Amino acid sequence: MKMLAIITARGGSKRIPKKNIKEFCGKPIICYAIEAALQAEIFDEVMVSTDNDEIREIALQYGAKVPFIRSKENSSDYATTEDVILEVLHEYKKRFNESFEYVCCIYPTAPFITEKILKKAIEIMKKDNPAMVVPVVQFSYPPQRCFVIDDDGKAKYKYPQYVQTRSQDLEKEYHDAGQFYVYNVEKLFEKKGIIEDDFIPIVLPEICVQDIDTLDDWKMAELKYQVLKEQNHGLY
């Protein structure tokens, strides 16, 4: 039962230059993903998919493998995560005649990942056999109460039917935590990389999740990381 960890890290970040290797609390942010995957000791190989020489060197320095460079086609702004995963799996088969039953795709800007949560995800995959296991987090404010702003600059409720509903009576809704995905490779190929159902969530506390798209997001992530470290949170 072979398992592959893929850390996806292209070099073309625009909003935060060199985002995937920018220093985060003392070391390149990608290192947290690499170290968690290696420390989990459940993967036959931990590799980084990149098109960038600097990322490649840092990945190798921290113990990951970079057996080939990502194609130009899948290094564009329009390539999806699934495109990259399928390319990696095809390359392993073509170059090394290696196949995997499970693959874990880890984002390079997810410093809250630990070996514990990765092991938990793999355990769920083996036990329940879904197409995918994914960490999620509850919306901090009920989406049913959101506003939209019209062309005249006026705001209105998008879902007016919920205006008088108490928050505690609204259905809880969740979103992708943007950290990692564990796939059943056979089902991934069957669905051609598009999985819309048959996945099991792992619900994370909000302090363990931070989308990083701007420098303000980056600062917030560092603050959360320091708090978790000081509290010895254990991360799940």
Q: Is residue 164 part of a domain?
A: no
pLDDT given at position 92: 97
pLDDT given at position 65: 98
Q: Note whether 30 and 227 are within 8 A (CB).
A: no
pLDDT given at position 103: 98
Q: Is residue 190 part of a domain?
A: yes
Say what angle helices 115-128 and 30-40 make with each other, to 10 degrees: 60
Question: What CATH number is associated with residue 207?
Answer: 3.90.550.10
Total domain count, the chain:
1
Q: Is residue 159 part of a domain?
A: no
Q: Is residue 158 part of a domain?
A: no
Q: Please return the burial class of 74, using the count of CB atoms within 10 Å of its CB with bins 0-12, 13-18 and 19+.
A: buried
State the pairing for strand pair 180-184/132-138.
Answer: antiparallel
Q: Is residue 225 part of a domain?
A: yes
pLDDT given at position 78: 87
Q: Is residue 163 part of a domain?
A: no
Q: What are phi and psi of 98, to 5 degrees?
A: -110, 135
- Mapped onto helix, strand or coil, the DSSP state of residue 110 is coil
How does DSSP classify residue 65?
B
Extended strands (E) in 39-188: 45-49, 102-106, 132-138, 147-149, 155-157, 174-176, 180-184
pLDDT tens digit at each of 236 positions of the chain: 899 999 999 997 888 999 999 999 999 999 999 999 999 999 999 999 999 999 999 999 999 999 999 999 999 888 899 999 999 999 999 999 999 999 999 999 999 999 999 999 999 999 999 999 999 999 999 999 999 999 999 999 999 999 999 999 999 999 999 999 999 999 999 988 888 889 999 999 999 999 999 999 999 999 999 999 888 765 54
Q: Is residue 19 part of a domain?
A: yes
One-letter identity of residue 234? G
pTM (predicted TM-score): 0.93
Q: Is residue 66 part of a domain?
A: yes
Spatial CA neighbour of 66 closest among 34, 98, 36? 34
What Å distances lie between residue 54 and 104, 110, 134, 141, CA to CA?
23, 19, 29, 39
Domain of 35, in residue numbers: 3-137+176-231
pLDDT given at position 235: 57
